[in-house]
Amino acid sequence: MAGIVGYGAHLPRHRIKVEEIAKVWGADAPSYKKGLMLREKSVPPSDMDTITLSVEAAKNAFRRAGDIDRSQVGAIYIGSESHPYAVKPSGTTVGEAVGILNDCHCADFEFACKAGSEAMFVALSHVKAGEMKYALAIAADTSQGAPSDALEFSAAAGAGAFIMGNDNLIAECLYTHSWMQDMPDFWRREHEFYPQHGGRFTGEEAYFATTRGASNAILKKSGMKPSDFKYAVFHQPNGKFPQRIAFELGFTQEQIDPGWLAPRLGNTYSGASPIGLTGCLDVSEPGDLIFMCSYGSGSGSDAFIWKVTNRINEVRDKAVRTHKLLDENLIYIDYGTYAKYRHKILKNK
Amino acid sequence: MRDVCVVGVGMSQWGEVWRKSFRELFVDAARAAIDNAGVDHLDSLYVGCMSGGLFVGQEHIGALMADYLGMPGLPAAHVESACASGGVAFRQAFIEVGAGLSDIVMAAGVEKMTDCSGDEATAALAAAADQEYEVFHGATFPGLYAMMAHAHMHEYGTTREMLTAVSVKNHFNGSMNPNAQYPFKLKPETVERSVMVADPLRILDCSPITDGAAAVIVCSEEAAKKTGKPYIKVIGSAVATDYIALAQREDMITIKSATLASQKALQMAGKKLDDINFAEVHDCFTIAEIMVAESIGKYKPGQAGPAFLAGESALDGAFPINPSGGLKSKGHPVGATGIAQIVEIYKQLTGQAENGRQIQGGPKVGMAQNMGGTGASSVVHILEVA
């Protein structure tokens, strides 16, 4: 049985509150807080990008995996929509930083916010097929949102990393199911700085139809029902969408709570549901079932059913817990600092 | 001029109809109206549409819709008078049948508004104002109606509660309309805490952006009788215009085009306002319903708001207004709105209004008032049971 042998997350310490962004643009903060269930979001400082976030998350995954032989890691995949280079991989840099050298398949993945779960899916498939002993999948983003756009209130940063293997599992993968349709809900074209989106169109026809499609299919395939699961995590472009689809499918607030990070973290794009999964694993017990469904605009969802093993009790605290990263040691910044960190201020060269 | 009747009505789904295109919305409504009337052919077609060009890049709408209705060869034309396009299309059908040129004419309206962004839709709608003297200077429709609301509040002491009463009443009525975009009831405090759009107008004072179409079959009485279906008579029809820019008008608190058109339509119908049992009016914003009720002469200036607060415009009030839910709850696909008003009057006068929103006591005469822009055009129709 293939599954997760190590997992870890990393989040920036910096946060900006919805009120601070709303103040600059004359927007109505209470309506964002209530309508989209967003309170604050993480902000990567100037020296943090998808590569550095990925390195930190991967280190935490290796801490939980134990002393595994880096040369046995046959693949490194990073899913992101904010790879620092348009041409030149993130994966090779991250690989060298965490000690994975040379004899390794490396690829950067892109599929809007589904790129991270895509990396997980492919890594898992390799170890399941017996092609390699371990495969590293990382979901990371320093998300872009245009100034004053609704996305600016949510676009955040963070990373989750997973080492897939067949032995010493923390969580077995019992089922996967992927679902896709052609959907122009959100995109960024070549040479554009910020993504564009179809406003309210991105809801029902895109996020909900796709997430619903994948979720219902994997429930049917597994013969399981929402009440069978201890936890559930969905892609979270804001606080409201994952809660709405969870309730529609029959999950409860208690089931989504540990992985429902968006109200305080924002939307970490490719990182969103994978980081949510790390939050669920942190508090899970042996035998717990965890439901996971990502979403990427364009659109597609990857759904997974994970079963936690006894090993969770040994490894849980070998690396920092995700909720500690979310809750502690935070630095709140103003819009000016945020604008500087996110390179929104034009300067002469 | 011979008698003109309405014998069948139809509507497409109204709302954010992502899976239907501009032409499909029209065909859905047109086929529903043809089926409802039981007619076997059309002699011509008028399609009201404010701006197919700006919303979806499509003009030549008369020919397109005849084609997709499966009737190439049919005489067809697109009629435009901003948000009054549907009402004016209906009037063209009325004139053609009344003049004896045709026996069975479809009057339809359609708008596909959600294929573009909210900002693009706002800009397209602003094309109904004066581009040179209003829009270039930053005015939008919520902004223009907000100024009208402030003027009305200043002059007559109209209050927030009166605006709220319009929205709450229309949503109550719309909650019973199976075609409504927002078929739910609202509490007054929900309206008053909703997001500010242009002071004093909040989001729940404003009609929404809507995809939708509506169609009615306008015909001679002889043709109506042949169908064996319930029909009503069109007894008054008038259009009037006003200065397009607010700044040119004597005041911002009456809608003169509504006054003129209603007077002419009543005169043609041989009716007095007291003979009218109910009305569908153009509540693009809550203040508009108050101003129109006064401008058509139903209430003295400043008296509509207090009367609405007292429940006079409710379904069981002395003079029900917008039993359909109005533009506020039913939705406002601009070119289709005027036709949808006729749909509601047909249903009310033939006792077919759904889900408990039928006005009790058997209403005999209804009025439809549909307007363009801030009232630069108004079209009024009076319809009576046959």
Give yes or no for a contact between B204 and B191, defined as CB atoms under 8 angstroms apart: yes
Q: pTM score, two decimals?
A: 0.87
Q: Which residue intervals of B44-159 are DSSP H helices?
A: 52-56, 61-68, 85-98, 118-126, 141-156
Instruction: Give dist(CA B48, CA B335) in Å, integer.
Output: 5
Confidence of residue A190 (pLDDT cuts 50, 70, 90): confident
* A108-127 tens-digit pLDDT: 999 999 999 999 999 999 99
Residue A343, pLDDT > 80, answer yes
**What pLDDT is stored for residue A183 in this prediction?**
94
Pairs from A310-317 (Cβ < 8 Å, separation ≥ 24): A310/A286, A311/A168, A311/A169, A311/A170, A312/A170, A312/A171, A312/A281, A312/A284, A312/A285, A312/A286, A313/A285, A313/A286, A315/A6, A315/A64, A315/A65, A315/A66, A315/A170, A316/A64, A316/A281, A316/A282
Q: Which residues of B are catalytic?
A: 83, 332
Closest-CA residue of B relative to A199 is: B117
Strands B104-111 and A3-10: unpaired
**What pLDDT is stored for residue B131 in this prediction?**
95
CA angle centred on B266, ends B261 and B272, rounded to 5°: 135
Confidence of residue A5 (pLDDT cuts 50, 70, 90): very high
Report percent pLDDT > 90 for chain A: 92
Ordered per-residue pLDDT tens for chain B, 386 residues = 999 999 999 999 999 999 999 999 999 999 999 999 999 999 999 999 999 999 999 999 999 999 999 999 999 999 999 999 999 999 999 999 999 999 999 999 999 999 998 889 999 999 999 999 999 999 999 999 999 999 999 999 999 999 999 999 999 999 999 999 999 999 999 999 998 999 999 999 999 999 999 999 999 999 999 999 999 999 999 999 999 999 999 999 999 999 999 999 999 999 999 999 999 999 999 999 999 999 999 999 999 999 999 999 999 999 999 999 999 999 999 999 999 999 999 999 999 999 999 999 999 999 999 999 999 999 999 999 99
The token pair at B12 is: 């497409």
* B24-61 tens-digit pLDDT: 999 999 999 999 999 999 999 999 999 999 999 999 99
> What is the three-class DSSP state of B76?
strand
Residue A349, pLDDT > 80, answer no
CA angle centred on A154, ends A149 and A159, rounded to 5°: 135
Question: CB contact, 8 Å: B313 with chain A?
Answer: no
Instruction: Give dist(CA B230, CA A8) in Å, integer.
Output: 71
Closest CA to A157 of A85, A57, A33: A57
Confidence of residue A31 (pLDDT cuts 50, 70, 90): confident
**What pLDDT is stored for residue B66 in this prediction?**
98
Nearest-by-Cβ selection for B16 from A28, A31, A200: A200
Q: Identify the sign of the CA torsion B49, B51, B53, B57.
A: negative
**What pLDDT is stored for residue B230 in this prediction?**
97
Nearest-by-Cβ selection for B195 from A28, A199, A200: A28
**What pLDDT is stored for residue A347 in this prediction?**
87
> What is the three-class DSSP state of A313?
helix
Instruction: Give dist(CA A167, CA B13) in Å, integer.
Output: 55
Inter-chain CB proximity B18 and A201 less than 8 Å: yes
**What pLDDT is stored for residue B185 in this prediction?**
98
Of all helices (H) and strands (E), which one includes residue A303? Answer: strand A300-308
Instruction: Give dist(CA B339, CA A234) in Å, integer.
Output: 44
The residue type found at A50 is: T
Closest CA to B158 of B306, B368, B39, B316: B306
Looking at the complex, report in whole angstroms how far the Cα of residue B189 sits from the nearest Cα belonging to chain A.
Answer: 15
Residue A111 gets the label, from left (phi > 0), alpha (psi -120 to 50) or beta, of beta
* A244-277 tens-digit pLDDT: 999 999 999 999 999 999 999 999 999 999 999 9
Instruction: Give dist(CA B4, CA A33) in Å, integer.
Output: 54
- Residues forming beta bridges with residue A286, ordered by sequence position: none
Strands A105-109 and A73-79: parallel
Give yes or no for a contact between B372 and B128, defined as CB atoms under 8 angstroms apart: yes
Looking at the complex, report in whole angstroms how far the Cα of residue A26 sits from the nearest Cα belonging to chain B.
Answer: 11
Inter-chain CB proximity B16 and A199 less than 8 Å: no
Residue A281, pLDDT > 90, answer yes
Looking at the complex, report in whole angstroms how far the Cα of residue B70 sits from the nearest Cα belonging to chain A.
Answer: 29
Task: Say which DSSP state A208 is in.
Answer: I
Instruction: Give dist(CA B103, CA B79) in Å, integer.
Output: 20
